[in-house]
Structure 1
Amino acid sequence: MDKVADFHNHIQWNPWQPKGAQSKPTITGTSKRPGHKYSWKDSKIGTGSLTLRDIDEKHIHFDLEFIKPIRTIARDNWLFEDWGIGETKVTWQNSGMLPYPIGRLMGFVIHKNLKRQFAEGLINLKKFCELYDGTIPVRHF
């Protein structure tokens, strides 16, 4: 959970960080506490912020706000379930609305791209956790 709830770690695995090489991230607040915030501003990936809203032993909830290129808000929710010795099942959910007409015209394409980016983020997170914790490396089949 620390790799997700602490934005100093979060920037090491999130799928959008490499796309915004020019981005100027700002991290404020206390790590792993409500109000901890990651903000970015970049000509390529836009402007927005991710703020930790709530955290407990199994869940992390974030408020996600995009300012540019499209103004919208969303929720990021994480569930961490113990799956045996040294294994954790991680579920990452995102929900939000796209403003009209963007949602109607581009919703399917945006959803398809986000699905791929979330999968990439979970793979990056797994690799980061394995490197950080010194566990068995990811095997590709």
Structure 2
Amino acid sequence: MKALKIIGVILVILLAIFLIVPFFLANQVIISEHMMIKAKPATLFNQVNTLQNWDNWSPFHKADTAMTTEYSGPEKGVGSTMSWLSKTMGDGSLTIAVSTPYTYIKSDLLFQPEQGAAIDEWFFEPQDEGIEVTWTTTLIDLDYPMGRYMGLMAKTMMKPFMTSGLNTLKEYCESLPVSVDITMVDVESVPSLSIMDATTVDGIGELLGKNYGLIMEYMKAKKIDMAGIPYTVYYNWDPNGVIHLRAAIPVSTEVPGRGVVEYFELPATKAVFAKHVGGHDTGATHEAIGEYISDFGIETGDFVWEVYVIDSMNEPDESKWETDIYYPLK
């Protein structure tokens, strides 16, 4: 009988400890890991901001290959949602709430059924040696008492997953081709002589060669000096149809044209700018610019232009060719 009383007292004490300890535990837990990654901010940002890209690096996808995932809302950014069903990881959803290119992403996490909520945050900070990527998960509104005990265990359970995810993200992004640098620039007006024309994709090179030749012949006849690097204005891009474009050569001031050669002034503007290095297939650079424009929600004008800084006229090695690409803002 005495033994039973002792056991009872011990159980009461243990129960009291079990109930008292959570009073001193926080109702939220912050778990954070960081890593230096040698990749462009846009590359890293879009691996997180586009939820379908999580398949490339997510530790949770790798932990349960039988996990089923569905996506809803926009393809990327605010409102984009990823929902999953997993026998080993549990069910839940993640919805992007804040997306600030290329520095910060905040998402709301919900664990089902009614197993709690969390805030998922990503920080991208440029450093001399690369981008410092910080992944932070904050478990919030932890119930008393079990939720707080689970929060205490979560750090031990979550940190290895987060470290693994950052390592895989690093390996994946550092293996990708280096993307171009894209910036916003101010462009002064450029007085030019030009020829407006149209052709298909296959005829662009030949047409530009012919029209630049006609412009230069006219400039030579009129003793007009070239005041800059030749460029091409594209008013549309249809790989299967007709492309309208303008071959242009800068001049120092307004001069009259003749026949198909006409005066044209590229307007002063603010523009999205990137330098393409390599052959004249600039498609990948235009795609990168398009992603940048989408990420920042920029409205651009109804034309773009390319400036042929280094090309076959002055460098036989096409790997050294340089083309400056501009997308003017509206």
* TM-score with structure 2 setting the length: 0.38
**How far apart, in 2, do the equivalents of 1:81 and 1:48 lie?**
29
1:94 corresponding residue in structure 2: 137
2:152 corresponding residue in structure 1: 108
Query: How far is 1:134 from its partner?
Result: 5.9
Change in 2 beyond 3 A, CA 1:112/1:28? same
**How far apart, in 2, do the equivalents of 1:36 and 1:104 lie?**
30
1:2 corresponding residue in structure 2: 46
Change in 2 beyond 3 A, CA 1:3/1:103? same
> Is the deviation greater in 27-36 or in 54-63?
27-36
**How far apart, in 1, do the equivalents of 2:132 and 2:177 lie?**
16
* Contact persistence 1:35–1:52 (CA under 8 A): yes
**How far apart, in 2, do the equivalents of 1:23 and 1:101 lie?**
30
Query: How far is 1:50 from its partner?
Result: 0.7
* Contact persistence 1:73–1:96 (CA under 8 A): yes
**How far apart, in 2, do the equivalents of 1:30 and 1:84 lie?**
34
1:84 corresponding residue in structure 2: 128
**How far apart, in 2, do the equivalents of 1:15 and 1:101 lie?**
29
2:324 corresponding residue in structure 1: none
Selected match of 2:174 from 127, 130, 134: 130
* Contact persistence 2:139–2:151 (CA under 8 A): no
2:106 corresponding residue in structure 1: 61
Deviations 1:102-134, CA, capped at 9 Å, x for gaps: 334343332111111111111111111112336
Query: How far is 1:78 from its partner?
Result: 0.8
* Contact persistence 1:32–1:55 (CA under 8 A): no
Amino acid of the structure 1 residue aligned with 2:51: F
Residue 155 of structure 2 aligns to a residue in which SS? helix
* Contact persistence 2:95–2:107 (CA under 8 A): yes
2:94 corresponding residue in structure 1: 50
Q: How many residues align?
A: 133
Amino acid of the structure 1 residue aligned with 2:163: A
Residue 82 of structure 2 aligns to a residue in which SS? strand
**How far apart, in 2, do the equivalents of 1:83 and 1:131 lie?**
19
**How far apart, in 1, do the equivalents of 2:175 and 2:59 lie?**
17
State the structure with more CA Rg.
2
Same amino acid, percent of matched pairs: 30
> Is the deviation greater in 94-103 or in 43-52?
94-103
Change in 2 beyond 3 A, CA 1:133/1:63? farther
1:120 equivalent in alignment to 2:164: yes
Selected match of 1:40 from 75, 81, 84: 84
**How far apart, in 2, do the equivalents of 1:105 and 1:79 lie?**
28
Deviations 1:70-118, CA, capped at 9 Å, x for gaps: 6101001111011137x21111111123333333434333211111111
Change in 2 beyond 3 A, CA 1:99/1:20? farther
Structure 2: unaligned runs, 5 residues or longer: 1-44, 180-330
* TM-score with structure 1 setting the length: 0.84
